[in-house]
Amino acid sequence: MELTYRREGDYLLPNLNAPENPRIGKYGMLRHRYLREHKRAILTGLQMTGRLNAHLEQIDREATETVERLTAEMASRQGVNEQMKRTDQMRWVGMMNSLRASAEETVLNELVYR
């Protein structure tokens, strides 16, 4: 790890360059808040090495894909399908919301808040 420093008065401050325009969604922002509030050392290490945005983008991508996959799997296991969507829309919406919440809870505990 090569760091360069600049002098500001009596202090040497590291020259850090932040990558531009990270693609961070809901789960990436939740991970960032978790690191900021509970894992400051990990957050600082990621910031110092310039890997924070890549880490948050990866967590966001993995979490989104996992929520979608788990929701689809649970829906097929419980018989929530297009036929139900056509015949009983309100029940379909309620069940899909419930399944998505369950999948999201799993992802938050296993990916975001670890």
Res 11: pLDDT: 94
pLDDT at residue 27 tops 90 = yes
In terms of Cβ atoms closer than 10 Å to its own Cβ (0-12, 13-18, 19+), residue 77 is: exposed
In the chain, where are the structural domains located? Answer: 5-112
45-104 pLDDT per residue, tens: 999 998 999 999 999 999 999 999 999 999 999 999 999 999 999 999 999 999 999 999
Q: Are 55 and 35 in contact (CB under 8 A)?
A: no
Burial class (CB in 10 A: 0-12, 13-18, 19+), 102: middle
Residue 12 carries which side chain, given as an amino acid letter?
L
Task: Determine the average pLDDT of the residues in 13-26.
Answer: 80
